[in-house]
Amino acid sequence: MECRVLSIQSHVVRGYVGNKSASFPLQVLGFEVDSINSVQFSNHTGYSHWKGQVLTADELHVLYEGIKLNNVHHYDYVLTGYTRDTSFLEMVVDIVQELKRANPNLVYVCDPVLGDHGSMYVPQNLYPVYKNKVVPVADIITPNQFEAEITSLRLSPLDSMFQVMDLLHAMGPDTVVITSSDLPSRLGDRFLVSLGSQRHVRPDGSRTTQRVRIEVPKVDAVFVGTGDLFAAMLLAWTHHYPNDLKTACEKTFSVMHHVIQRTISYAHDLAGPGRRPSPPQLELRMVQSKADIEDPAIVTEATVIP
């Protein structure tokens, strides 16, 4: 059965960010993807220069109305990422709510891009919109430590991190994956810790929660577009394994590992010995990773936490 995704994310002409990081791998895995570009830039903003346009909330509404007029607004998933504008974000919420009224089984996957390492890199006024409007309508969210932490609970020790995920569950999403944290890894300081939590409703109406922990190798480089790829892969693998967060996370993190390792190897070859790769050299090697996206060898295992 055909599965359709509406992806509302940024777009770049050069490289893989936003919709380009999400659409290709989803299409490789058999999803039909309709893309709305929240921004259209020449390249990502890690370069020295960039040019482009930003889509307004009104323009988003016009595009969505065009889809509706043709009666092709029937989706199984909505996927969103980075935005800097409150009115645009509120329009996204309106669209998601309308699509959910038409299809109560629609799954909204949200990467709540707010900041990292204690600093916001979007305007402060986006935070209450995410907290009060976006998260309550989301089904799957993929925050990093900081984005989860600003829900008001600390993430250390481990128990508090799971309290944060329980709080996020109570706000709406059934699946929460904290993509990175500062928790110490059992494998040493060359690894970071990710955590996942997924709640299910049993036939009798009671709830059960599966929690997993993933140790992820660190890479000494800055990539752009990896968060978009991660959210897309989590969408895909939770679709294929809806009641098995462990397997979905292992598939997702393993895809990330293969793409990143191929990218860093290629970038170092281009940069030459002793030289740090540049942003153009670190563009994700997405097409070259097609086979790994389709059928990733599992190199990152998740541990189920009782």
Per-residue pLDDT reduced to its tens digit, 256-278: 999 999 999 999 999 999 999 99
Separation between Cα atoms, residue 37 and residue 40, nearest integer Å: 6
Residue 152: pLDDT above 70? no
pLDDT in tens, 75-121: 999 999 988 899 999 999 999 999 999 999 999 999 998 887 677 77
CA 190 → CA 182, 185, 202, 220, distances in Å?
A: 12, 8, 39, 10
**Res 243 pLDDT > 50:** yes
Q: What's the pTM value of the predicted model, to 2 decimals?
A: 0.94
Which CATH number does the domain 4-305 belong to among 3.40.50.170, 3.40.1190.20, 3.30.70.560, 3.40.50.300?
3.40.1190.20
**With the CA atoms of 106, 88, 129 and 168 taken in that order, what torsion angle do they form, in degrees rounded to the nearest 10?**
30
Per-residue pLDDT reduced to its tens digit, 118-140: 777 788 888 889 999 999 999 99
Nearest to 194 by CA among 258, 273, 275, 248: 248
What is the reported pLDDT for 154?
Answer: 54
Q: What pLDDT digit, counting tens, does each position of 199-233 carry?
A: 998 888 888 999 999 999 999 888 999 999 999 99
Catalogue the active-site residues.
228
Quickly count: other Cβ atoms within 10 Å of residue 178's Cβ. 26
Q: In angstroms, what CA-CA distances link 88 with 34, 60, 84, 135, 169? A: 18, 8, 8, 15, 25
Query: CA distances (Å), 271 to each of 223, 267, 279, in order?
Result: 15, 6, 11
Mean pLDDT computed over every residue of the chain: 92
How far is it, in rounded angstroms, from Cα 13 to Cα 95? 26
